[in-house]
Amino acid sequence: MAYGFNGKFLRVDLSSSKISVEERRESFYRKYFGGRCVIAYYLLRELKPGIDPLSPENILIFAPGVITGAPIAGSGRSSVGAKSPLTGAYGEAEAGGFFGAELKRAGFDGIIIKGKAKHPVYLWVHDGEAEIRDARHLWGLDTGESQEIIRKELGDKLIRTAQIGKAGENMVRFACVIHDLRDAAGRVGMGAVMGSKNLKAIAVRGHRSVEVADPEKLRELSKWLLDNLDKTGTLHQFGTGAMMTSHVLSGNLPTRNFRDGEFPNPEGISAQRIAETVRIGMEGCFACPIRCKKVVKFEEPWSVDPIYGGPEYETLAALGSNCGIDDLKAICKAHELCQRYSLDTISTGATIAFAMECYENGLITKEDTGGIDLTFGNAEAMLKMIELIAMREGIGDVLAEGVKRAAEKIGKGAEKYAVHVKGEEVPMHDPRLKRGLSLGYAVFPTGADHNNNLHDTDVRSFPALGIFEEVPLEDLGPRKVRLFVYFTNWRVISNSLLMCNFLPWVTNPRQLTEIVRAVTGWDTSAFELYKLGERSMNLTRAFNVREGFTPKDDRLPPRFFKPQTSGPLSKTAVDPEKLEKAKELYYRMMGWNPDTGAPTMEKLAELDILWVADEVKTNVREDLD
């Protein structure tokens, strides 16, 4: 009896319309677990290096993990991966909701999609079977319309979907994959890869329940969670975005393209204000009692449809303060448009903020914008830009390439306003405040990532892993690097287990270990899970090395080496020399060659993935193999 996995991956070749099922043994799941690790495994094994991410040669992978779909809070997430069209590096994004659990219930542990369909199609996966269906009638539709038609034509209202809207179809490089209209696998352009394959949607329905090894233990853990939920009361009450004022006071709220440190009305774009005004309810993910997801609805001055949920903190900051906007309804509308069109709200907001700063500095003119006054704070302009980007119209076609490529096209020194790492727009936390982020943004495989990063305003120690003495916020020396390594290697477990980072498991290795044990029946330990995190980091690092990435690519945008123009961080910036030293120490602690950034043979051997050595020739010693 297998617990936690079906033993089956669905393989789809859109070019030949062939569908097959690949069987996998338990040892595969215990080594790679799911999500990021499984995606990196297949990309390293099967993707040709150097291909264009928007060509049919790219491989798109949907993968939940071994605990996904088990009856325990936080197990609803799922991953989407491919070579990223935004960064050219390893690409992967996760979404909450129900899709991953439904895929497991449908009998599969993942979907591996190759090639490109001759015309728009969607994939219908249900109870161990799959078929490729015509989607020409769906192409061009918003995700909401498209989902409704799919559910109707398949005759099941409980079908779960992963879809793209116009932005994905138009291969906007930061198009996302929208799950059930609300949950975005947001970052690094996985929606553009769907679009490049003429794949409008994946519809999933399953009736097999996910068997677990020790249901009694899972119930006990659920009870532990409920007993400890007071700590996450804010999340339950408001969702993300309830700390806007403190973010402004610390300097963490990105304002006007990370330029400024003062934002006059943070409460106006807060989760509390949403609760007081436009919110009509809260929703949750599979098996989760926290229900942290806002649902907003209003009719004036724009109509916002509640089927698209509501904005998270990242969205409120990216399309709000980072664009100098404090018009809450405009931000909510912007969020809804992004869900309709399948746009990553972070990259969308960051790209518009970049364009606004270019505009204010004369690098983009009214002629370029088609008459739009693209100044910071102009909510209407922001909304209009979203439309242009999704449709790739006018200046939107340039911005749809992301800030890195847009800056190259605009020229005239626009690069200095392009706040990105490896091409990925920086999310809504300032590394001038959080030293851990400065290192994390620089080195993470997908680019500037906030989910798997060390927010050292909140995390100063990690007693359960043996770091019991607090490391000061401003430290970027060996102790901070150690904390960073331990914390992030632990945190990235969530990319392979697909456990939600909002649940307290992330800092409670004991409980997370117990969950994995209860679901799979494996006699696992915090040590084994930590090694899973390391394996994930090494596989994705190896992917990037194979694509030609070097330590030079692990760098911050110049903006963070200078203080904010005003506010609490007007005298503080990241010290580039300290960051370089921390980076080198990070490589060494990770078991990577500090000159190439590549995993060493001994680290690959220690993680039992020595096959990866063939993929990163550098530093591989044949005589030791």
Distance CA 594, CA 597 (A): 5
Tokens 């204010």 sit on residue = 360
The reply to whether 478 sits near a second copy by the rule CB under 8 A is yes
Whose CA is closest to 516, among 22, 33, 20?
33
Distance CA 453, CA 443 (A): 10
Report yes or no: 271 and 239 within 8 Å, Cβ to Cβ: yes
Smallest gap from residue 24 Cβ to a second copy (A): 15
Comparison of 384 and 482: residue with beta carbon closer to a second copy? 482
Give 293's strand partners: 283
Distance CA 450, CA 494 (A): 13
Tokens 């709200």 sit on residue = 345
Q: Transcribe 251-265 into DSSP letters.
A: T-S-BTTTTBS--S-
Give 467's strand partners: 462
Among 509, 557, 597, 599, binds a second copy (CB under 8 A): 509
Comparison of 35 and 261: residue with beta carbon closer to a second copy? 35
Among 1, 119, 300, 468, binds a second copy (CB under 8 A): 468
How many residues in the shown chain lie near a second copy by CB under 8 A?
A: 44
Beta strands 8-13; 111-114: pairing state: parallel
Smallest gap from residue 530 Cβ to a second copy (A): 5
Among 125, 175, 406, 585, binds a second copy (CB under 8 A): 585
The reply to whether 593 sits near a second copy by the rule CB under 8 A is no
CA terminus-to-terminus distance, the chain: 35
SS (H, E, C) 482-515: HHHHHHHHHHCHHHHHCCCCCCHHHHCHHHHHHH
Smallest gap from residue 590 Cβ to a second copy (A): 9
Among 368, 522, 555, 573, binds a second copy (CB under 8 A): 522
Comparison of 575 and 606: residue with beta carbon closer to a second copy? 606
Report yes or no: 566 and 261 within 8 Å, Cβ to Cβ: yes
DSSP class of residue 559 equals: G
- Window 154-173: residues binding a second copy (CB under 8 A): none
Report yes or no: 64 and 55 within 8 Å, Cβ to Cβ: no
Report yes or no: 111 and 62 within 8 Å, Cβ to Cβ: yes
Binding mask 426-465 for a second copy (x = CB under 8 A): -------------------------------------xxx
The reply to whether 519 sits near a second copy by the rule CB under 8 A is no
Among 204, 485, 542, 598, binds a second copy (CB under 8 A): 485
Comparison of 284 and 477: residue with beta carbon closer to a second copy? 477
The reply to whether 510 sits near a second copy by the rule CB under 8 A is yes
Among 404, 482, 491, 583, binds a second copy (CB under 8 A): 482
Comparison of 291 and 531: residue with beta carbon closer to a second copy? 531
Among 52, 153, 380, 625, binds a second copy (CB under 8 A): 625
Q: Which range binds a second copy by CB under 8 A, 178-186, 403-411, 496-504, 582-590?
A: 582-590
Distance CA 421, CA 87 (A): 8
Torsion of CA 518, 184, 435, 269, to 10 degrees: -120
Torsion of CA 284, 287, 289, 293, to 10 degrees: -10
Report yes or no: 623 and 608 within 8 Å, Cβ to Cβ: no
Q: Which range binds a second copy by CB under 8 A, 54-62, 155-163, 242-250, 517-525?
A: 517-525
Distance CA 12, CA 615 (A): 25
The reply to whether 467 sits near a second copy by the rule CB under 8 A is yes
Comparison of 66 and 101: residue with beta carbon closer to a second copy? 66
Distance CA 356, CA 144 (A): 30
The reply to whether 373 sits near a second copy by the rule CB under 8 A is no
Comparison of 243 and 585: residue with beta carbon closer to a second copy? 585
Smallest gap from residue 195 Cβ to a second copy (A): 38
Binding mask 531-570 for a second copy (x = CB under 8 A): xx--------------------------------------
Smallest gap from residue 485 Cβ to a second copy (A): 7
Among 523, 552, 571, 622, binds a second copy (CB under 8 A): 523
Smallest gap from residue 522 Cβ to a second copy (A): 7
The reply to whether 588 sits near a second copy by the rule CB under 8 A is yes
Tokens 């061009």 sit on residue = 140
Neighbours of 599 (CB within 10 A): 31
- By the criterion CB under 8 A, which residues form the site for a second copy? 27, 30, 463-469, 478-479, 481-482, 485, 509-510, 513, 522-528, 530-532, 581, 584-585, 588-589, 591, 600-603, 605-606, 608, 610, 623-625
